[in-house]
Amino acid sequence: MSFDINKIVRPSIAALKPYSSARDEFTGKADVYLDANENPFDTGLNRYPDPYQQELKSAISKIKNVPKENIFLGNGSDEVIDLLFRGFCEPGKDEVITLPPTYGMYQVSADINHIKTNKVSLTPDFEIDEAKLEATINPNTKIIWFCSPNNPTGNALDPDAIIKILKSFNGIVVIDEAYIDFSASQSWIDFLDFYPNLFVMQTLSKAWGLAGLRLGMGFASKAIIEILNKIKPPYNINTLTQDKALEALGHFEEKNEAVDVILNERINLNQALSELQTVRHIYKSDANFLLVKIDHASTIYQKLVEQSIIVRNRSNVTLCEDCLRITVGTPEENKTLISALKQLI
Ligand SMILES: *Cc1c(COP(=O)(O)O)cnc(C)c1O
């Protein structure tokens, strides 16, 4: 294995002289700031935010047990995904691999950046097709996008198959862990020291209950993080987001309590759904949603909409035929869904 960051970063990015903000050039504390053309009168937001989010990263570093230099923060995972393309994939030349059915943003972001996506479908039990994956890797493959636990299937992917790729692939191996807090499996952030090509994504959007805040986290080797820092918009995480995230991270027991309730409700919802005649299969879930194979999925979806209950119709997604993806809601919401389904069936 010879992962070499200099071989995979785009040449124009390697050569880039990044924008230097006022807060880059002076980082200490001062009494009078006349360097950033800010309005001096205090509105609560008259100053630019910390471009490298030091305080927030310190808090994340403690919770995740990952050094600050191995953390990148983005305006949602969406921005982290886009920056990985922009840092490492040459438009019109480089390629990436996704494993559908999976999260749609990898493909959309690839298309926006004019990067070819090669798809290696998961097996019917939603595992990695190792032979096909290895056969699909070519010299232009820069990133492999794993999502574990996977959306929309809900399962965590086999770690042994991922380890083989981490050891043999000389590009970046992304593992999107948006749902890791709902999973019994270990986070890949514990393995950052072993794999210089590993990039783990997490987010405050799911377990932390802060989808509106837009805070995505990337964890990787210092070399990879430095590339993203070089190309990100200077003030990509605004002051309100940094403050609110810091506050939320301060009482993570609330996050844990919410996760406990959701996990318990996942069991209850699974049980109630399995008692419905038209439910064919409920896939094992490591996430905060259930993928449910049900007769006449599209009709049921539509009828639920008419009752003001919205689930996600995945029935036209390959390998998810006749499937609805149902987010685990509050105990009340789940009861409402089940009684609506009982009346429909
Ligand atoms: C919901 C979700 C995210 C979260 O994206 P944000 O931009 O951080 O809100 C990331 N990846 C997957 C697979 C998701 O399902």
CA of 36 to the centre of ligand 1 (A): 34
Cα 230 versus chain centre, distance? 21
Q: b/e string for 6-31 if b means 16 or more Cβ within 10 A?
A: eebbbeebeeeeeeeebbeeeeeeee
Sequence-ordered list of residues with C-beta below 8 angstroms from that of 12, at least 6 positions apart, any chain: none
> Does ligand 1 lie within 6 Å of residue 175's CB atom?
no
Signed CA dihedral, 21, 26, 30, 35: sign only: negative
Three-class SS state of 292: strand
> Does ligand 1 lie within 6 Å of residue 148's CB atom?
no
pLDDT score for 1: 56
Sequence-ordered list of residues with C-beta below 8 angstroms from that of 56, at least 6 positions apart, any chain: 73, 237, 242, 245, 246, 249
Can you give the C-alpha Rg of the chain in angstroms? 22
Q: b/e string for 55-71 if b means 16 or more Cβ within 10 A?
A: ebbebbeeebebebebb
> Does ligand 1 lie within 6 Å of residue 66's CB atom?
no
Alpha-carbon span 114 to 109, nearest angstrom:
9
Residue whose CA is closest, atom 11 of ligand 1?
178
Instruction: Please give the number of the atom of ligand 1 that sits closest to the Cα of 203.
Output: 8
CA of 289 to the centre of ligand 1 (A): 13
Which residue from 316, 114, 87, 330 is spatially nearest to 218, judged by alpha carbons? 87
Domain annotation for the chain: domains and CATH numbers: 5-250 (3.40.640.10), 253-344 (3.90.1150.10)
Helices 252-274 and 331-344, interaxial angle, to 10°? 20
CA of 332 to the centre of ligand 1 (A): 25
Three-class SS state of 89: coil
> Does ligand 1 lie within 6 Å of residue 202's CB atom?
no
Instruction: Please give the number of the atom of ligand 1 that sits closest to the Cα of 204.
Output: 8
Please state the pTM of the whole predicted model: 0.97
Residue 339 near residue 308, CB atoms below 8 Å: no
How is the chain split among helix, strand and coil, in percent rounded to 5? Answer: 40, 15, 45
Neighbours of 230 (CB within 10 A): 16
φ and ψ of 156, to 5 deg = -85, 140
Alpha-carbon span 175 to 157, nearest angstrom:
10
Give me the numbers of helices (H) and strands (E) for the chain, helices first please: 13, 11
What does the pLDDT profile of the chain (345 residues) look like in tens digits? 589 999 999 999 999 999 998 888 888 899 999 999 999 999 999 999 999 999 999 999 999 999 999 999 999 999 999 999 999 999 999 999 999 999 999 999 999 999 999 999 999 999 999 999 999 999 999 999 999 999 999 999 999 999 999 999 999 999 999 999 999 999 999 999 999 999 999 999 999 999 999 999 999 999 999 999 999 999 999 999 999 999 999 999 999 999 999 999 999 999 999 999 999 999 999 999 999 999 999 999 999 999 999 999 999 999 999 999 999 999 999 999 999 999 987
Amino acid, single-letter form, for residue 114: H
> Does ligand 1 lie within 6 Å of residue 103's CB atom?
yes
Sequence-ordered list of residues with C-beta below 8 angstroms from that of 158, at least 6 positions apart, any chain: 127, 128
Instruction: Please give the number of the atom of ligand 1 that sits closest to the Cα of 205.
Output: 9
